Amino acid sequence: MNGLEPDLDAVADRLSAERPIPRAGFRAELRSQLIDASHRRPAPPQRLRTLITAYALSGATLLAVVAAGVAGVGPLAG
């Protein structure tokens, strides 16, 4: 052991006894940002159809490679 355990125990005891609380200004700003964010609707990506098509094609390509490997043909045949 390297002697860090007593130090960590002291830190754990201190954190248990003294709960750190952010200052009031920070809490108020965070609250207002969270409330504002909850009222806004997230905008979809500009090229949503392109992304969906790209993901679908890459998934289909991976499935084809795996199927070829299972059939004994292709780069994964062994």
How far apart CA 73 and CA 41 sit, in angstroms, is 48
pLDDT of residue 3: 59
pLDDT for 72: 84
Report the distance separating Cα 55 and Cα 66, nearest Å.
17
pLDDT value at residue 24? 93
Reported confidence tier of residue 5, pLDDT bands at 50, 70, 90: confident
> 43 is written with which tokens?
């905008």
Contacts of 76 (CB under 8 A, 6+ apart): 65, 66, 68, 69
The pLDDT score that the predictor gives to residue 1 is 47
Locate 65 and state its tokens: 């490679």
The string of pLDDT tens digits covering residues 26-75 is 999 999 999 988 788 777 778 999 999 999 999 999 999 888 888 888 76
